[in-house]
């Protein structure tokens, strides 16, 4: 599923050459001016872990980290990330092994359908970098931009809290 696809050729929009680093790997591509970053990730590069839930920047399913900042990739155009370094859900596991945060979501049932999960993980990663030991209230504020329709947030909050206690926050802080 992660095969790269041909860029669309019939679109008459302006094309831009960009160079972007994603999860440590550099990609050079020509993108159309109007292509959303999320569609660049998903359709052009086949990085389909990042999801689209709303198209209006409301739901956070498309959350990724661009140059250290948590953003919603449906609210950014692909040409805007020229020269940037991007982190997506695909970059979280190391050598195929779940990281502390991911493992905590598994152990605490922090996901059901899994659709919001990649965005939720990126939001939590960002939160733990800024605040390695967040309170429940701080966790809820940290994921306020991410909608989940399955879990009622209870076990997501629990997962992030447990991950922080297991040292995920400290590790993220050190990785900055």
Q: Binding residues for other proteins, how many (CB under 8 A)? A: 63
Instruction: Say whether residue 32 binds other proteins (CB under 8 A).
Output: yes
Instruction: Say whether residue 76 binds other proteins (CB under 8 A).
Output: no
- Residue from 17, 25, 68, 113 binding other proteins (CB under 8 A): 113
Minimum CB separation of residue 38 from other proteins in Å reads 11
Q: Which residues contact 49 (CB under 8 A, 6 or more apart)?
A: 88, 89, 90, 118
What stretches of 52-169 adopt beta strand conformation (E)?
A: 63-66, 69-72, 85-87
Of 77 and 84, the one with the shorter C-beta distance to other proteins is: 77
Minimum CB separation of residue 119 from other proteins in Å reads 9
Instruction: Say whether residue 87 binds other proteins (CB under 8 A).
Output: no
Instruction: Say whether residue 89 binds other proteins (CB under 8 A).
Output: yes
Which tokens belong to 38?
Answer: 């999320």
Q: Which residues pair with 22 in a beta bridge?
A: 25, 86
């Amino acid at each position: 599923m992660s095969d790269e696809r041909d860029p669309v050729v019939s679109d008459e929009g302006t094309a831009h050459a960009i160079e972007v680093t994603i999860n440590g790997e550099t990609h050079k591509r020509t993108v159309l001016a109007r292509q959303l970053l999320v569609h660049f990730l998903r359709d052009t590069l086949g990085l389909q872990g990042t999801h689209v839930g709303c198209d209006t920047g409301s739901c956070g399913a498309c959350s990724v980290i661009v140059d250290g900042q948590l953003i919603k990739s449906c609210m950014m155009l692909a040409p805007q990330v020229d020269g940037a370094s991007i982190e997506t859900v695909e970059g979280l596991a190391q050598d195929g092994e779940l990281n502390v945060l991911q493992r905590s979501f598994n152990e605490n049932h922090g996901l059901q359908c899994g659709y919001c999960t990649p965005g939720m993980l990126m939001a939590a990663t960002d939160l733990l970098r800024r605040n390695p030991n967040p309170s429940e209230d701080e966790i809820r504020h940290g994921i306020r931009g991410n909608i989940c329709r399955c879990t009622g947030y209870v076990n997501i909050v629990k997962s992030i809290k447990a991950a922080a206690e297991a040292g995920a926050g400290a590790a993220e802080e050190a990785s900055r």
